[in-house]
Structure 1
Amino acid sequence: MRVLISGASVAGPVLAYWLTRYGFSVTVVERAPTLRKTGGHAVDLFRPAVDISEAMGVLARLEERATGTNRVTLHREGARRSVRVDLSKLLGATSARHVEIMRDDLSEIYYTAASDKVEYLFGDSVTAISPEGDVRFERAATQRFDLVVGADGLHSNVRRLVFGDESRFSVFIGAYLAVLTMPDTADLDGDLHIHVGLGRTAGMYRARHLREARALFLFRTERELDYDRHDLARQKELLRGAFSGFDADVDRWLHELDRTPAFYFDSIAQVRMDTWWRGRVALVGDSGYCPGPAVGGSTSLAVVGAYVLAGELARAGGDHKRAFPAYERAMAEWVRGSHEVALNAARTLVPTSRLGVSGLIQGARLVSALPPGPSRALVRLTTKSTRLFDSMTVDDYEAARSGSESPLAE
C-alpha cells in the first residue's frame, strides 16, 4: 500500500518510520532541497514522545544532542536584581521524561531512522490531489497513492489543497515568535538568559554542541500584524519596533539581525479543525492541530500524532475509513488539552499585566528556593501542561498485533 507524506520536519519522518515498520510503502515529499538547516530553536519532547523515540531506537542520539540547558537567569524589565533558577527542578517537575533538543537535530535524527526504507523527494511539492489518489507535483511526474498525509506544518500546503484556505482554520492567539542565530557573546554554558516585561519576553541560550547561540523573542499585539510571510526585511523591522528600548542586552541581540545566517518570524496561531481527514487525505501534527509554536507542546503532539496515525492504519489493515476516525478519537482529548495549555502558557510567558510579570518572577524564585520535592509539587499543582503531558498514553500497536504487553501504554 503506497502512502505519500508531505513534509520532512518532525511528524513526517516519524510517520514514515512507523508506516514502513508496519509494511507500508512510503514516499516523503519536501519542498526544501535538503533537510532544513535553518537555525531553528529548541523544542521539548515530553514523556510519551520520549517513549516513542526510544521504541524507534533513537533515544541515545536524542540525548547526545540535548541542549544541556540547566540554569535560567530571569531579568525583570527595569529591575536591577535578577533571579537564578535551577532548570533541572522545573524540568523534573514538568515531565517524568523530558529531552530538550534543537529542532534541526531532531528532524535529522528522525529522518535517518528510516531513510534507507523511505523514498524522499526533496525540492518538490504537491500541486493537486484527486479523490482517487492521483498526485501532481511541481517537478516529479504524476503518481497514484492509496493515501496522502499532510505533515507540512502550520502553513500546510496539503491542508490548503484539500480543506481550503488557511484563514478558515488558523486562529491568532495574540502573540508573535521570532528566533535568530547569533554569536555566543555571553559565553553561555548551560545558561538561558530571559528578560521579561509587559507584553514582551526575550531570551538567549546555546545548545552545548553548537558554537552559535539562539535569541528568542515573544511579544504581544492586539491584532495581527500586516506583513508578507516571505518579507524578511519587514519582519525584522516589526521585531525591532516591538523591542525598542527594552533592555541593553536585547538591543545587542537585535544588532545581529542584519547579519544573522538564520531568522524565523511567525504569529503564534492555533489550527482548529472539525476533522483532520477527507477521503484519502489526512493531516498530522501542526498541519491539523497546531496548539501554537513555542507554547503548546506542538513537537511532542506531532510525534504522538504520527505514531498513533501509523498504528491505527496498521490496526485497520490500511482501511483509512476505519483508521482515520480512530486516529481522531485517540488524539482528540490531547489536542483539546494542548490548545488550552498553549493559551495559558502564552499568558504566563508573555505577561499582559505588571502583576503577571511579578508573578512569573516570584514563582520562579519560589521554585528555585524550595527543595526538589516541594518544588515539584508546586509546579504540578499550578501547571496544566504537566498534568496533560504526564497523563498522555498511547497504545503499543505492535504489541496489540502480536498479543504481547504494551510498554508504551504504561
Structure 2
Amino acid sequence: MKNKNILISGAGIAGVSLAFWLKKFGFQPTIIEISPKLREGGYAIDFMGAGYDVAEKMGILADLEKVDMDISKLAFVDENNREHGSMNYRKIKRLMNNRALTLLRSDLAKIMYKALDKDIEIIFGDTIHKIAQDDEKVSVTFRSGSSRSFDLLIGADGLHSKVRNLVFGNEAQFEKYYGYYTSSYTIENFPDEGKVFSMYNIPNKQAAIYSDGKGKTMAFLIFTSPEKLSYDYHDVDQQKKILKDQFTNAGWKCPELLSKMDSTTDFYFDSISQIKMVKWYKDRIALIGDACCCPSLLSGKGSTLAMVGAYMLAGELKQAKGDYKVAFEQYEHSLQPFIAKKQKAAQRFAKSFVPKTNFGIWLRNIAFKAMSIPLVSKLLLNPFKDRGLKLKEY
C-alpha cells in the first residue's frame, strides 16, 4: 500500500467519515480542525438513501436511532399557531421502509466521531496556512507555525474550504448563491410543541421550531436576499444582528426566539449556496463533501452525500493500493454525474423553497395536504431514494 499517511482538513461529517474508512482500509489519517472542539449546531437533516447505507456499513445505525428526532408531523402554522397544512412524517418514514431518520447534524457528527479508531490523530484549534506539493509529498504549514509532510491531503472543510482556496483558487469562482440565508440554534425554557415540527411563513421568511421533549427547542430560520450579504462568516455577533434585523417584526414566536438567541452555544448561520467544480483533485490533493460539490440545504442531501463521497474516496484508494492518480480519477468519475443530478434537483426547488407571496404560502399548504395521498407521497419521495448510485463493496 502506497501513500498511507493522509491529512484531512476538517472534522465535520465528510472529514470524520473519511478518517473512519481510511483507517479501516489500512491508511493512517490525521485530522486538523480549526475549531477548538467538535463543532455543535447545524440544521436538522433527513437521513436516508445512500448515506443511510453507509452508516449501516459503519455499524452506527443503533446509535443514530437513539438520537432520531422522531418528528410526528410537519405542521404549517399562522401567526396564532393555528395549523393550515401538515404532513404525517412517520408515514413518510414507513414509505421508506423505515430506513430513514431525522437527525441534528451535530448529533450525526458526534456519533461518527465516537466511532473513530482511538489512535487517529486529531488536531483541534489549528488550520492549514500554506500548502506545497511535489512528486513525493504534500508539505503543509499550520497557522500555529509548525510544518509537516504527508503523502496526500484531502480538503473536507466545507462550503468555505481553506484547502480549496489555497489550491484551486478563490471561492467566488465556484460558488452559486441561491438567494437564501439560513440559521439554526438550540434554546432552553421554551414552550414544548411536542413531536411536531412547526413552520411559520410570511413572504420571504420562514421560522420553524422543534422541541425534543427534554427541555430543549431547536430553532430554524430562513430568509431570502436577492444579493449576497457582506459580512464576516467568522463574526457570530454580526450574523446575529442580521438575523434580528430580518425577524424582529416577523410575528408568531419570532420575538421570543430572537430574545434567547444570545444565550445559545451552537449558533449557525450561512448562505444557501452550491459549490460546482469541474475537477475535484489536483495532483496529491483532493476535495470531498461540501468543499467540492456542496448540494446545499435545498437538496436535503448534503450530509449523506458527504458520507457517500468519503466512503467512495477511501474505497478507491484501497482498491488502487494507494495509487492516488488512479483513485482520485475513479472517485470523481463515479460520483460526479450523480452529484450533478442532485444539484440540478436542488436548483429547481430553489424557486419555491420559501414562498415569496401570501398566495405562494397558501399554495404550499395545499400541496402538503396532498401528501396524505399515498401516490403523491411516493412520487415526492423518489428524489430521496438515490436511484442510480450503487455503492461498491471495497
User: Residue in 2 aligned with 1:193?
Assistant: 198
Q: Distance in 1 between matches of 2:114 and 2:76?
A: 37
User: Residue in 2 aligned with 1:148?
Assistant: 153
User: Residue in 1 aligned with 2:171?
Assistant: 166
Structure 2: segments with no counterpart, 5+ residues: none
Partners of 1:102 and 1:207 within 8 A in 2 = no
Partners of 1:94 and 1:379 within 8 A in 2 = no
User: Residue in 1 aligned with 2:88?
Assistant: 86
Q: Distance in 1 between matches of 2:179 and 2:127?
A: 31
Q: Describe how 1:33-112 pairs up with structure 2 within 5 A.
A: 33-36=36-39, 38-76=40-78, 81-93=83-95, 97-112=99-114
User: Residue in 1 aligned with 2:223?
Assistant: 219
Q: Distance in 1 between matches of 2:308 and 2:233?
A: 28
Distance 1:234 1:144, change over 3 A: closer
User: Residue in 1 aligned with 2:390?
Assistant: 393
Q: Describe how 1:295-334 pairs up with structure 2 within 5 A.
A: 295-334=299-338
Shift of the alpha carbon at 1:363? Answer: 1.5
Distance 1:200 1:295, change over 3 A: farther
Q: Distance in 1 between matches of 2:275 and 2:240?
A: 25
User: Which has the higher mean CA deviation after the structures are superposed, 274-283 or 164-173?
Assistant: 164-173
User: Residue in 2 aligned with 1:239?
Assistant: 243
> Is the partner of 1:114 in helix, strand or coil?
coil
Counterpart amino acid of 1:183? E
Counterpart amino acid of 1:379? S
User: Residue in 1 aligned with 2:297?
Assistant: 293
> Is the partner of 1:34 in helix, strand or coil?
coil
> Is the partner of 2:260 in helix, strand or coil?
helix
User: Residue in 1 aligned with 2:181?
Assistant: 176
Q: Distance in 1 between matches of 2:73 and 2:38?
A: 31
Shift of the alpha carbon at 1:31? Answer: 1.1
User: Residue in 1 aligned with 2:351?
Assistant: 347
Counterpart amino acid of 1:157? K
Q: Distance in 1 between matches of 2:371 and 2:99?
A: 19
The CA deviation string for residues 79-106 of structure 1, in whole angstroms up to 9 with x for no partner, is: 9553343111234446862122122221
The CA deviation string for residues 270-312 of structure 1, in whole angstroms up to 9 with x for no partner, is: 1111111001000000011101136441001100000010111
Select which of 3, 6, 9 maps to 1:3.
6
Distance 1:356 1:386, change over 3 A: farther
1:22 matches 2:20: no
Q: Distance in 1 between matches of 2:320 and 2:43?
A: 37
User: Residue in 2 aligned with 1:360?
Assistant: 364
1:136 matches 2:136: no
Structure 1: segments with no counterpart, 5+ residues: 398-410
User: Which has the higher mean CA deviation after the structures are superposed, 165-174 or 347-356?
Assistant: 347-356
Partners of 1:180 and 1:262 within 8 A in 2 = yes
The CA deviation string for residues 130-172 of structure 1, in whole angstroms up to 9 with x for no partner, is: 1131121123632211110000111111111111111111111
Select which of 17, 27, 34 maps to 1:31.
34
Aligned residues, how many? 388
Q: Distance in 2 between matches of 1:322 and 1:46?
A: 30
Q: Distance in 1 between matches of 2:336 and 2:391?
A: 13
Question: Percent identity among equivalent residues?
Answer: 34
Q: Distance in 1 between matches of 2:96 and 2:359?
A: 24
Partners of 1:30 and 1:124 within 8 A in 2 = yes
Distance 1:275 1:8, change over 3 A: same
1:13 matches 2:16: yes
Give the alignment's Cα RMSD to 1 decimal.
Answer: 2.1
Q: Distance in 2 between matches of 1:294 and 1:119?
A: 34
Q: Distance in 1 between matches of 2:172 and 2:7?
A: 25
Q: Distance in 1 between matches of 2:65 and 2:278?
A: 36
> Is the partner of 2:269 in helix, strand or coil?
strand
Q: Distance in 1 between matches of 2:156 and 2:117?
A: 17
User: Which has the higher mean CA deviation after the structures are superposed, 259-268 or 89-98?
Assistant: 89-98
Partners of 2:187 and 2:218 within 8 A in 1 = yes
Shift of the alpha carbon at 1:42? Answer: 1.7
TM-score by length of 1: 0.88
The CA deviation string for residues 106-149 of structure 1, in whole angstroms up to 9 with x for no partner, is: 11211121231411111111112211311211236322111100
Counterpart amino acid of 1:111? Y
